[in-house]
Amino acid sequence: MLPVVFHQGAQVTTGRSRRAPHLGLSQQAFGLMITFIGVVVLSFEGVLIRSIKVDSWTLLFLRGLLAFPGLCLFFLVVERRGWRKQVRSMGWAGALAAVLFAIDNVGFIYSITHTSVANTLLLISLSPLFAGLFTRLLLKEPVPRRTWLAIAGGSVATLIIMLGSLVEGDLSGTIAGLIASAALGGTLVVLRANPTLNMIPAVAIGSGLAALVGLPAAVPGSADAQDWMYLVVLGFFVVPVAFGLIATGPRFIPAPEVALLLLLETVLGAYMVWAIIGEEPVITTIVGGLILVAVLAAHSVATLRNLEGHGLRKVGS
């Protein structure tokens, strides 16, 4: 799941966001449209991963290997001019974001192959709350009370999910999901500290680094023709298009609006795996998931109302 951080600050307006209309749509409608498309595309990731029969290390290697050029191509198509300057300007902040995103990739693939897709998606959705906590600890920025309440509610939901993992015997996958979520939260903090950083190159480099992590234990020859078909769709289409569109969304709409749409991916992704593959979530996942989705939705709505109260119609992420 792509990171979105909740924060208040000065209005951020790029040259791109000043162009209107976009495809005949207002800036707000265009941002909602591309984010929604990205979320729907991303919801297919769980089904594709579950349909690929290779081991987790081979999956990590091949997914990253294919996603890296796909994301680079998306970046070049979107940016066209000035891409070299943007890549060079990333500096150490971009490198740190890439490493953290690689850790997220490793944790995500291990988690989704060692516990249910629903568990993994729910745990990844905690990343904005990790970002809020890290923002307070590392950047020393004040965290609103609503975020602390959301962190508390999210912690309760996570404990419920982990209790179910103890019963089901997939605790390692749940812990990997938490590590992935924390790494994603760390990525958000890097981006928060460097608001002009372009997300897509860091995501691409992070995917490449994740592929290198999986390389020593990977067995690409174990993938059959059907696996390769799913891998190509995942690496060349789903990951670049979904991540690229969702990363672009906050340029046009406030980050909390993007976060609300990302909740759809948490629910839709788990439902699709259930409906298509028949992977039914256990009761603790359902209970914890309902609590978590409610907590995150309430936090997003409260943040959005606060931004509107301050007259901020667009916040950079």
Dump pLDDT digits (tens) for 222-260: 999 999 999 999 988 998 888 888 777 767 776 556 666
> What value does the mean pLDDT take over residues 123-143?
78
> Model-level pTM?
0.78
> Minimum mean pLDDT among 76-85, 217-226, 254-263: which range?
254-263
Question: In this structure, are residues 232 and 293 in contact, taking their beta carbons and an 8 Å threshold?
Answer: no
SS3 call for 25: strand
Which parts of 198-315 fold into alpha helices (H)? 199-214, 225-233, 239-248, 255-277, 283-309
- Which SS3 state, helix, strand or coil, does residue 315 take? coil
Check residue 276 and give its pLDDT. Answer: 86
Give the least confident one: 5-14, 20-29, 34-43, 50-59: 5-14
Q: Take residue 283 and report the two structure tokens written for it.
A: 């009761």
Rounded CA-CA distance 219/109 in Å is 16
Is residue 55 classed as helix, strand or coil in its secondary structure?
A: coil
pLDDT at 260: 65
**Torsion of the alpha carbons at 289, 182, 170 and 276, rounded to the nearest 10:** 50
Q: Which residues contact 280 (CB under 8 A, 6 or more apart)?
A: 274
Question: How many CB atoms are closer than 10 A to CB 34?
Answer: 22
Backbone dihedral angles phi then psi of residue 254, each to the nearest 5 degrees: -60, 145
Question: How far apart, in whole angstroms, are the C-alpha atoms of residue 2 and residue 242?
Answer: 9
CB-CB contact of 129 with 151 (8 Å): yes
Does residue 316 surpass a pLDDT of 60?
A: no
**What is the helix (H) or strand (E) element at residue 35, kind and residue range?**
helix 27-42
pLDDT of res. 4: 46
* pLDDT recorded at residue 219: 95
Please report how the helices 171-193 and 145-168 are oriented relative to each other, as an axis angle in degrees rounded to 10: 160
CB atoms within 10 A of CB 109: 24
pLDDT number for residue 311:
56
Residue with more model confidence, 36 or 197: 36
Q: Which residue has the higher pLDDT, 19 or 27?
A: 27
Question: Is the pLDDT higher at 219 or at 312?
Answer: 219
Neighbours of 58 (CB within 10 A): 22
Q: Does the structure show a pLDDT above 80 at 25? A: no
3-state helix, strand, coil in the chain (%, to 5): 75, 0, 20
CA torsion sign for 295, 301, 306, 310 is positive
Average pLDDT value over all residues in the chain: 79
